Amino acid sequence: MPLSIGIIGLGRMAQAILTPLIEKEDFKVNEVLGVVGQEETAKRLLEQMPKGINIFHARDERSKEIWSAPIKILAVKPQQLNQIQENKDYINLNNEKPLLVSVLAGVNLKRLQLTFPNHCCVRAVPNIPVLVAAGLTGLSFGKDVSLNQKLSVEAIFNPISEVIELPEEQLDAFLALTSSGPAYVALITEALSDGAVAAGLPRSLANELATKTLAGSATLLEKRGMHPAELKDMVASPSGTTIAALRHLEMSGIRSALIEAVVLAAERSRELS
């Protein structure tokens, strides 16, 4: 079975990456092979994913064929990395090493290259809005990745995200802001909704308005290229409701809490590596 791409681990992020590639026919569905840990998972995914895709569990002999794919996306949990062994018998070494793109948090290029010595390795840090083609993806390339391979990696992530190439030492900060960031935004959205309910709005309306307020504010900042402080000052009039609320937020330490959240996430990512 000739393969175009292999996916090692098929969680939500891997599916979000793979689905648009199949829909756009960048990869033919019968040339895609996914490998997962459990037989039950393979059966469930075969029912959910596009018809014709090949998905095997790791103990199936056919799963070894994934190593013949010229591009592989590694999307297992970081703690599962030690369970994966490169299979040299299936690796096709024609003119250049095959490509391995890892989306594992905190696993650096040095460790990837030691684990997969017969591959060119790339680190990718996408965030969860790739599910709706509104993501951000940071890329760092190993030193032996060719220009054509770089273009192939960018073509994978461009349909679902804005792609930003970074030095690897900046990826932990990128992850702490963009990959963990949606959780911070979700928490803030939920808290704003709770406040609106406490102030008298029904829950469903409060959730809707909180979400739209954050989305609209983000759009304004992006479209106008505004500094966040400029938007804050536009809304906060003298002796008004907003400045009273901002005063309370500053007294509660929200600015420091958010700063430290990003720093702690970055430090944790470095620890994982």
Tell me the pLDDT tens digit for each residue of 188-240.
999 999 999 999 999 999 999 999 999 999 999 999 999 999 999 999 999 99
**214 and 246 fall within a common domain:** yes
* Contact (Cβ atoms closer than 8 angstroms) between residue 140 and residue 162: no
- 111/78 Cα distance (integer angstroms): 11
**77 and 163 fall within a common domain:** yes
Residue 8: partners with Cβ closer than 8 Å, 6 or more residues away: 34, 35, 66, 72, 73, 74, 75, 76, 84
Closest-CA residue to 120 (of 145, 150, 95, 156):
145
Q: Decide if pLDDT at 93 tops 60.
A: no
- 216/171 Cα distance (integer angstroms): 28
**56 and 107 fall within a common domain:** yes
The domain boundary, picked from 168, 190, 221, lies at 168
Q: What is the CATH number of the domain that holds 58?
A: 3.40.50.720
Q: Decide if pLDDT at 96 tops 80.
A: no
- 126/133 Cα distance (integer angstroms): 11
What average pLDDT does the chain have? 92
Structural domain total, the chain = 2
Q: What pLDDT score does 1 carry?
A: 57
Overall average pLDDT of the 40-60 stretch: 88
**153 and 255 fall within a common domain:** no
Residue 127 covered by a domain: yes
Residue with tokens 């995914």: 45
Closest-CA residue to 183 (of 107, 128, 222):
128
105 three-state secondary structure: coil
Domain that holds residue 89: 5-168
**64 and 139 fall within a common domain:** yes
